[in-house]
């Protein structure tokens, strides 16, 4: 099969027409007249012709230059070039036949045409119109989100705490005995069964902020742990890191009481400069810019067209769950394309 015959049928779908040649009167809203002929560009030397149209040497040269050198190698002989232009012509004859049969009004063709038009509109409105991300925008975004790129080492712990101030020896001794028993229970659990350790903490911990959270301390730096719970706990956490999540500490004494710790997560220190994250950050800002511009422009289009939803009429539309499924007549509701689906932008 020649390369021309392998061309995507989207070329037909994307430019379906109501007539081959437009007339003077403008089409009504929702209708279109598109000239699909090669002769819409005047001049040139025809290399293949058929009723009402032709391909010129100039167009053929352009098509060949769009190919890679390896592909062009195939068309060095007259026979191969003839095969190619005849393929182009046969493709156009199929387009004419489709139009003669009125297939431009087929729901599938109309739906594909709409998708192609909206896709091209998006490129024209966003890719071609929006300025690139500036250095000032990059620097500002890096400063606002610096904690995403520069942060100290962090650990996540769950702890079981027994209140026994270091200065109160009468309370420390029995609390240490209890802590030892609870530590033995914890060591009997599967190392990565964090939920099991959490149930133990919820049942026995005496730290009111974390007990309802199954003892979870969330991610904190070692400095934060030392500040909030004491340097002994921070040092115990540092020693747990090399053996990985699930590791248990011994009984750790701090000024306020006794802790049994389990390491549940670890994040190494991060120190990325603006240059380190330039490409990713620029892409992220470009996505946000595209999404914001698209949302704002859609809002303008809605206002210009006086878009209105009749809630009363909409409420009367019955959704029959038992009706048989009909063949699809177009794209499903809610298929409006987004510049980047992962970016959420609040409409203005």
Could you read off the pLDDT of 110-156 as tens digits, one per residue? 888 888 898 888 888 887 778 889 999 999 999 999 989 999 999 99
Low-confidence ranges of the chain (pLDDT < 50): 1-24, 333-334, 341-343, 345-348
Tokens standing for 2? 């020649």
Q: Which of 269, 298, 321 is the last residue of a domain?
A: 269
Is 23 inside a domain boundary? yes
Q: Which two tokens stand for residue 66?
A: 């769009």
The pLDDT score that the predictor gives to residue 238 is: 96
249 and 107 in a common domain: no
Domain of 207, CATH number, reads 3.10.50.40
| Nearest partner of 20 among 58, 51, 63, 46, judged by Cα | 51
pLDDT of residue 156: 97
Burial (0-12, 13-18, 19+ Cβ within 10 Å), 186: buried
Q: Are 161 and 259 in contact (CB under 8 A)?
A: yes
Residues 57, 104 within the same domain? yes
Show the domain range for 15.
10-121
Pick the last residue of a domain from 102, 121, 140: 121
Is residue 234 one of the residues assigned to a domain?
yes
Considering the domain boundaries, does residue 15 fall inside one?
yes
> Nearest-CA neighbor of 185 among 277, 143, 124, 248?
248
249 shares a domain with 162 = yes
100/16 same-domain check: yes
Pair (276, 142) in one structural domain: yes
- Shared domain for 161 and 214, answered yes or no, is yes
Q: What angle do CA 180, 186, 190 make, to 5 degrees?
A: 155
Instruction: Evaluate whether 213 touches 201 at the Cβ level (below 8 Å).
Output: no
Residue 165 domain-assigned (yes or no): yes
Is the same domain home to 81 and 137? no
On whether both 261 and 302 belong to a single domain, the answer is no
220 with 277, same domain: the answer is: no
Quick one: pLDDT at residue 327? 75
Domain finish residue from 236, 269, 302: 269
Q: Considering the domain boundaries, does residue 167 fall inside one?
A: yes
Q: Do residue 344 and residue 254 come from a single domain?
A: no
Residue 216: the pLDDT is 97
Give all strands (DSSP E) within the chain, no chain letters: 46-50, 53-56, 150-151, 154-163, 216-221, 248-253, 257-267, 270-271
Q: Are residues 101 and 157 in the same domain?
A: no
* 347 falls within a domain: yes
The domain tally of the chain equals: 3
Quick one: 73 and 117 in the same domain?
Answer: yes
Question: What count of Cα atoms within 13 Å lies in the side-chain half-sphere of residue 57?
Answer: 3
CA distance 64 to 72: 6
Q: Is residue 257 part of a domain?
A: yes
Q: Is 329 a member of any domain?
A: no
Nearest Cα to 249, choosing from 196, 192, 315, 183?
A: 183
Q: Given this model, what pLDDT does residue 126 score?
A: 83
CB 63 within 8 A of CB 75: no
Q: What CA–CA distances, in Å, run from 63 to 33, 35, 75, 83, 322?
A: 25, 20, 12, 14, 53
């Amino acid at each position: 099969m020649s390369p021309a015959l392998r061309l995507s049928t989207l070329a037909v779908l994307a430019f379906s027409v109501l007539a081959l040649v437009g007339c003077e009167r403008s089409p009504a809203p929702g209708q279109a007249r598109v000239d699909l002929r090669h002769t819409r560009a005047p001049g040139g030397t025809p290399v293949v012709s058929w009723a009402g149209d032709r391909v010129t040497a100039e167009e053929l040269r352009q098509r060949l230059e769009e190919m890679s050198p390896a592909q062009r190698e195939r068309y060095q002989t007259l026979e191969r070039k003839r095969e190619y232009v005849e393929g182009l012509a046969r493709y156009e004859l199929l387009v004419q036949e489709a139009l003669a049969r009125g297939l431009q009004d087929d729901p599938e063709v109309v739906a594909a045409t709409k998708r192609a038009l909206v896709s091209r509109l998006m490129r024209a409105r966003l890719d071609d119109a929006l300025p690139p991300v500036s250095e000032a925008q990059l620097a500002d975004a890096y400063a606002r989100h610096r904690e995403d790129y520069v942060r100290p080492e962090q650990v996540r712990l769950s702890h079981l705490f027994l209140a026994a101030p270091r200065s109160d020896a009468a309370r420390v001794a029995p609390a240490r005995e209890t802590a030892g028993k609870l530590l033995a229970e914890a060591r009997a659990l599967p190392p990565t069964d964090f939920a099991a350790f959490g149930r133990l903490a919820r049942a026995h911990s005496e730290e009111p902020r974390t007990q309802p959270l199954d003892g979870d301390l969330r991610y904190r730096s070692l400095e934060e742990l030392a500040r909030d719970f004491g340097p002994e706990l921070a040092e115990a956490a540092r020693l747990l890191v090399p053996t990985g999540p699930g590791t248990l500490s011994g009984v750790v004494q701090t000024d306020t009481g006794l802790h049994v710790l389990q390491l549940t997560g670890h994040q190494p220190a991060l120190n990325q400069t603006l240059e380190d994250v330039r490409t990713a950050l620029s892409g992220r800002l470009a996505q946000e810019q595209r999404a914001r511009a698209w949302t704002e422009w859609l809002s303008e289009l809605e206002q210009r067209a006086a878009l209105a939803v009749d809630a009363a009429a909409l409420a009367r539309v019955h959704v029959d769950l038992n009706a048989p499924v009909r063949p699809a007549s177009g794209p499903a509701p809610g298929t409006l394309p987004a510049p980047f689906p992962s970016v959420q932008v609040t409409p203005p």
